[in-house]
Amino acid sequence: MAQLTTNVDPRSAEYRENHAAFEQRLLLLRDRLRYAATGGRDAHAARHKARGKLLVRDRIDLLVDPGSPFLEIAPLAAWGQYDNEVPGAGLLVGVGIVAGAPCMIIANDATVKGGSFYRETVKKHIRAQEIAEANRLPCIYLVDCGGANLPQQDQVFPDKDHFGNTFLRQCRMSASGLPQISAVFGGCTAGGAYIPALSDEVVMVRGQARIHLGGPSIVKVAINEDIDGETLGGAEMHTRVSGVSDYLAADEYEAIAKLREIIASLGIERNIAPPRPVVPPRIGAETLTGVIPVDRRKPYDVREVIARLVDASDFIEFKPEWGETLVTGTARVHGFSVGILGNNGSLHSDSSLKAAHFISMCDQRGIPLLFLQNISGFMVGSEAERGGIAKNSAKMVYAMATAKVPRFTVIIGGSYGAGNYGMCGRGFWPEFLFTWPTAECATMSADIAANVMLELRRGSVSKGTPDQSELGGIDAAVRAQYAEQSDPYFATSRLWDDGIIEPAQTRDVLGLCLALSLSAGDQPRRDTRVFRM
């Protein structure tokens, strides 16, 4: 296997400039992740703890096996929206190891708007369930949820991908043999009540947990019955009278211990260990920050990125002398085989055909695919069209869309137009999609978009001849729109990705994702249903 080398000199002025600029991006990312995890809600957290309740991250720390990795999904959901008063969309989700079994953990954060569901909360919950279903993961719900956010009812309630879809997925996963287990730590009203009610097994915490389809105020209005919340839907009543709950826990610690006991009793045997010994890259991943130019218009060789991600920096390149704007080849990441496609410019007919060939070959051999996106799009112009770029790019898209092997995408730079599609963007359902802080996702770059809009205005006969001030206003408005909407935080806020990650974390994140996806087929499907009695 050929070993990749580097042409990047860490002592050069260019490297130092790139590294310093990237470090500023990383400081911003870490600051925003810190705020999403703990910021802006000290008073709410204090009240939460005064009631004898654990914070959501403390619950997860107790639930997962000590020292095991936790792959958090979309930690910056809803970032920059709602005056930043809904950090993380009020929901913490991720894959963790519980009693030796990888599980999807979906946990409400009651310190954020009482754990109520906003538009992004629903989307994040569904995304977690998609990952769980695709990777055959049991789901553990840590429920502390006030149901739908009522002012957003038109955005969270009636449509097919709204709150009700989470219940559909929960039922179908249970029916397919994926256990659905809930622990209730607080009030669960209306839609929130169905998360535990639809679970296979339920634990409730005495004195804290409540489940009711309608709370005391709704009961009073609906049937004029005066009743307190504990009597209406408390843990003791539901465990001893209604049977909605299966286990009564004295406190949160006992509830979490019971969850671990339940997962251990499932007898899940799943080998997520790599098939080969893991060898770190010969070129340190920490130097990735000096590889990416400050000026995104300046090209760089994607092999420099690959060399810092793959085992031993070993890479067998496929068709290295043809279709050179796309680098393709096979390597290992944390011991797992992977076929890599990385951009070195726009996609031409030859690089598109090369991609289609390589993808179909990996698919035939059962090798998962990794797309490293830094793409301006497919080539345009008369020469490209006469060379068949439409049909040849379609072949690449077709091969990528129909590949049966797991597909993973990391947007490391630009992701524009149909290039996003050809390189397995979100619309093509990659198993996981992460971005770097340098990512930009848009139909086209701001420069091109502004010039297109200016040309359209100049060519508009019905509106007369524009003056320079009007054209300047159009240019400024388009650039401002694209600057805002192509920002990686705008994208991750809306769950167009599974999270922004640091370049040095990429190899480990991909290793976890590969282990989950490639071991999913080891799990027997048990087409049995669990009926709540």
DSSP string, 139-189: EEEEE----B-GGGHHHHSSSTTSHHHHHHHHHHHHHTT--EEEEE-SEEE
d(CA 370, CA 372): 7
Segment 384-394 shows an average pLDDT of: 92
pLDDT tens-place string over residues 295-325: 888 999 999 999 999 999 999 999 999 999 9
pLDDT tens-place string over residues 246-277: 999 999 999 999 999 999 999 998 889 999 99
Asked if 368 contacts 518 with a C-beta cutoff of 8 angstroms, the reply is: yes
Residue 205: which region, alpha, beta or left (left: phi > 0; alpha: psi -120 to 50)? beta
pLDDT at 522: 59
Please, which residues have CB within 8 angstroms of residue 218's CB and are 6 or more apart in sequence?
A: none
* Residue 240 DSSP one-character state: I
Q: How far is CA 362 from the centre of its chain?
A: 24
Please, which residues have CB within 8 angstroms of residue 207's CB and are 6 or more apart in sequence?
A: 230, 234, 235
3-class SS shares of the chain: helix, strand, coil, % to 5: 45, 20, 35
d(CA 444, CA 110): 40
Q: How far is CA 113 from the centre of its chain?
A: 22
What phi and psi, each to the nearest 5 degrees, are found at residue 395? -65, -40
Closest-CA residue to 149 (of 105, 114, 110, 182): 114
Residue 527: band (very low, low, confident or very high) from pLDDT cuts 50, 70, 90 = low
d(CA 247, CA 422): 50
DSSP β-bridge partners for residue 427: none
Share of the chain above pLDDT 70, in %: 97
pLDDT at 214: 81
> How many other C-beta atoms can be found within 10 angstroms of the C-beta atom of residue 177?
16
pLDDT at 523: 54
Q: Is 275 helix (H, G, I), strand (E, B) or coil?
A: coil
Asked if 2 contacts 317 with a C-beta cutoff of 8 angstroms, the reply is: yes
pLDDT at 74: 98
Q: Is 11 helix (H, G, I), strand (E, B) or coil?
A: coil
